[in-house]
Structure 1
Amino acid sequence: MTRWSATAAFVAVVCLLSACKKGDAPQDLPTATPSAAAPTIVPPLVETPLGREALLLAIARAASDTALGRDQSATQRDLDGSRFALRMRFGCAGDEPVPGRRLTFDETRGKLELRLDNEIGAQTPLVLGLRESGYEAVEGFWVHRPWLLDADCRQAAPGAEAPRTIAAPSPGPEPSGQPPSLNLDAGETSSSERESIGIAQFFTPDDARTHRRAERGYAVTKLLSAGESRSSEGYDIVLAGRLRRLASGRVIACTVRRTSAPPDCLVSVQFDNVAIVNPSTGEVLAQWSGA
């Protein structure tokens, strides 16, 4: 090695050592630059539909405000567009027949038939009493036993349904401080049993007629397996969709029939899906979309 080569090699080694001391990166390797922080991905919010309890409580609030003459504009505005999923049980053991809802089971053939027909129309007294204009058709259903916050079969406590004693009219004046006896007509239906809460879709002349099912109803026939019987817990009608305000701005429209009785209320909705479900197994026997 020549004197010049040795000197050059020495200088190169010194430079390399000096660079290492200073922590400098080698010239042939690019210096890494910190990358921008990865954006936080926020999953879309999933709207939880109003279930039976929440919807019935909203109806109770609207009925109370109506009876008290309170302004409901803010509450009604907040309800508009909300999703709902209302369950209604029918076909429980011991239930009396309900017009518009039919359940038959041929045990010999294992044939189960369920049918749900329109129960509320444009000429229903409750609809007429709301005095909503601009609609040519109404389709909906009564919410039976609205005091039950869960869709279930009644399990009355022992003695809860004991026969009532009907007092005969007193021939003379009642003792001082005692109210007069009442002679109840056995054929009269108590106000708690009559239909006073409904849920319905209102159709304008511009709405598609294909969405109406008043003439068709909802029916399903199912052949059960050998040895299988109908559900002992009845069946659930599941109505799903969105709350929709009426021309008056109301979503839950109530009317006072008389001051001594609770208001009658109708929930205005858009039905997106109607299903009949076996609550014992969760099986969907049939469903109709765009109803």
Structure 2
Amino acid sequence: MARQSPHACGRSVSTTAAAIAVSLLLIQCDRPAPESPEVVPSPEAAPAPALVPVPATALSRVDLLNAARRAEQAYAEGRVETQPDPLIGRSFAIRMAFACNGPSTPDAPATGLAQWAWGPDQRTIRIRLAPADWTGSNLVTPAGATASPSGWEAVEGFWVARPWLTTEACPVVHLDPLTPTQGAPSPQTLGLAAVFEAGGSRLGRRDGKAYEHTVRPQGDQPLASPSQGYRLLLEGRIVGFPGGRAIQCRAAGPDQRPVCVAAVQLDKVAFEDASGATLSEWRPG
């Protein structure tokens, strides 16, 4: 029996080892590469909702009264406001009750306040409002000046009746049994000055002409005195005085309550009944 050469045996072992190594290498090559973890994109942040500016509501009677109290307090203290006035440019809608205690008396102011009177044989009611002429008045003259602003061609005034009352309804006051007479009304201390610039539009200017309306009976029913009075509605925008303040106050002495006036542009004047129904209205144009 022929004997295998030791060198041949060594070559066989080496060949076998090489074959095994190649097989292992091929197995490694055939094995699929490990999958990389899936990258999940982070969700995009939702865009912030656009901020829609909320329009400022129209100033009410209460807002005007509060602003006037602050203005008269600053005036009485000699305090000069330096911050921009937030009322400039704001719209307003102010209602005032009138005809709360019967027809207007002969001593009632002829201008600046709404009034009513019976027509012939008390078959009609006449409502009337004549704006006051405040052109050149010290009510609209800036402090330290001797005349109203030169840029204003005309100023028509309207008093805000009963500035101590925040409600738009007629006051409920019981007569004092110790007072034999009703007494004279308190002086007016708060007003709206409708200003008209020189060279500007004349639409809306009354030039002394009153706002007037006649209430007539329904059918043959006689008219009754309005138990809850009527309402005067003034709408517009606050334009302010040349110094940048919406309201200006003046007083003749330290022991007198200041009289305060807001400079405005009027857009609507209306008479209403106690329920808010419009009787007549006027707009520029």
TM-score (norm 2): 0.70
- Deviation readout 1:205-254 (Å, 9 max, x if unpaired): 12212221133221112323132535311111110111112212121011
Per-residue deviation, 1:95: 6.2
Q: What are the Cα deviations for residues 118-174 of structure 1, in whole angstroms up to 9, with x where unaligned?
A: 12421434234754422221012112221111123232245377349xxxxxxxxxx
Q: Secondary structure at the match of 1:210?
A: coil
1:112 aligns with 2:125: yes
Q: Which has the higher contact order (CA 8 A, sep 6+)?
A: 1
Q: Which moved more, 1:50-59 or 1:115-124?
A: 115-124
Cα drift, residue 96 of structure 1: 4.6
Aligned to 2:241: 246
Structure 1 partner of 2:270: 275
Q: 1:265 aligned to 2:260?
A: yes
| AA of the residue aligned to 1:210 | L
- Tell me what 1:24 maps to: none
User: What SS does structure 2 have at the residue aligned with 1:54?
Assistant: helix
Equivalent-residue separation in structure 2 for 1:104 and 1:95 (angstroms): 5
Aligned residues of 2:104 and 2:116 also touching (Cα < 8 A): no
Are the aligned partners of 2:141 and 2:149 in contact in 1 as well (CA < 8 Å)?
no
Q: Where does residue 229 of structure 1 map in the other structure?
A: 224
1:88–1:238 Cα contact (<8 Å) kept: yes
> C-alpha distance in 1, partners of 2:208/2:201?
15
After the TM superposition, which residues 167-246 of structure 1 pair with which residues of structure 2 at under 5 Å, given as runs?
A: 193-226=186-219, 227=221, 229-246=224-241
Residues 46, 105 of structure 1: alpha-carbon distance in 2 compared, 3 angstrom cutoff = farther
Gap change, CA 1:109 and 1:242, over 3 Å in 2 = same
Does the CA-based 8 Å contact 1:242-1:271 persist in structure 2? Answer: yes
CA contact (8 A) 2:238 2:262 kept: yes
Change beyond 3 A, Cα 1:40–1:258 = same
**Aligned pairs (5 A) from 1:8-157:** 45-74=54-83, 77-94=85-102, 96-97=104-105, 98=108, 99-100=110-111, 101-106=114-119, 110-128=123-141, 130=143, 131=145, 132-134=148-150, 135-157=152-174
Displacement, 1:93? 2.2
RMSD, matched Cα: 3.1
Letter aligned with residue 198 of structure 2:
P
Determine if contact 1:236/1:277 at 8 Å carries over to the other structure: yes
SS of aligned partner of 1:73: coil
Kindly state the Cα deviation for residue 266 of structure 1 after the two structures are TM-superposed.
0.8
Instruction: Give the gaps of 5 or more residues in structure 2.
Output: 1-45
Question: What is the TM-score with the length of structure 1 in the denominator?
Answer: 0.68
Counting aligned pairs with the same residue, the percent is: 30
Contact preservation (8 Å) 1:122, 1:128: no
What's 2:5 paired with? none
After superposition, the C-alpha distances for 1:177-222 in whole angstroms (9 at most, x for unaligned) are xxxxxxxxxx9x7xx8112221111222122122211332211123
| Deviation (angstroms), 1:69 | 1.7
CA distance in 2, matches of 1:194, 1:264: 9
Q: Shift of residue 273 of structure 1?
A: 0.8
- 1:285 pairs with one of 256, 279, 282: 279
